[in-house]
Amino acid sequence: MLESFGVINLWTYIIGVTVLTLIPGPNSIFVLTSSVKHGVKEGYKASFGVFLGDAALIFLAFIGVASLVRTSPLFFDVVKYAGAAYLLYLGGRILYTTLIKKEHHPVDDMPKATKDHIFRKALLLSLTNPKTIIFYVSFFVQFVNPDYPNTAVPFFILGSILETFSMIYLSVLIFSGATLSSMFKQRYGLAKLSNGCVGALFLAFGLKLALATS
């Protein structure tokens, strides 16, 4: 369908992107949590942070930063441990405000964040994973015709498809989160359990990233 633009095996790529998009990760969990606690508007602020971060990583993969990440253990470790530390910080903060700090209601245990706070947190989550850059370039290259004169064109198309699928999925999470919010406001115990699970997930993501071998 898009062979004239240097894209090959399009439907295989779409299936792969669909599966990858549906795999839970810190980005999608953060977007869902933001919509649960602050509503649809804040959920979309988080999703745009993820969107911009992923777009930046796709661009970095295209210009060759993936090779630097792959060949420089020090650079890889610095970014990896920074990302792990940030995930551990978020998880610990959520668990602290849920289980230790006295609050009126667990749905409101995170201070009302400004636009910059929500957006910046989502952007940092997306950017602080060096393996994502390597993944993008190794995944995309399988669907780019090596004989096409300008590889930027198929790379842009593939990246746009990925971002579109991601935004659709995040939109589903955002509106689902807004629905869950009204339920949690009426069920204190359920909201507290939910926040505890989210905090534990972020800690698990952070530990997994910190302990992963390069």
Residue 197 above 50 pLDDT? yes
**58 found inside a domain:** yes
Residue 108 above 60 pLDDT? no
Total domains in the chain come to 1
- 39-57 pLDDT, tens digit per residue, is 888 889 999 999 999 888 8
Helical H segments across the chain, by residue range: 10-22, 26-38, 40-63, 65-71, 73-99, 115-127, 130-140, 152-186, 188-211
What angle in degrees, to the nearest 10, is found between the helix axes of 152-186 and 10-22?
30
Distance CA 129, CA 134 (A): 10
- Report pLDDT for 106: 43
For residue 7, what is the DSSP state? B
**172 found inside a domain:** yes
What are the φ/ψ torsions at residue 146 (nearest 5 degrees)?
-65, -20
Global model pTM greater than 0.85: no
Residue 100 above 60 pLDDT? yes
**32 found inside a domain:** yes
Q: What range does the domain containing 172 cover?
A: 26-211
**91 found inside a domain:** yes
Q: How far is CA 200 from CA 38, 41, 81, 109, 196, in A?
A: 20, 25, 18, 15, 6
Region 47-73: mean pLDDT is: 78
**155 found inside a domain:** yes
**4 found inside a domain:** no
The rounded mean pLDDT for the chain is 75
Distance CA 188, CA 133 (A): 40
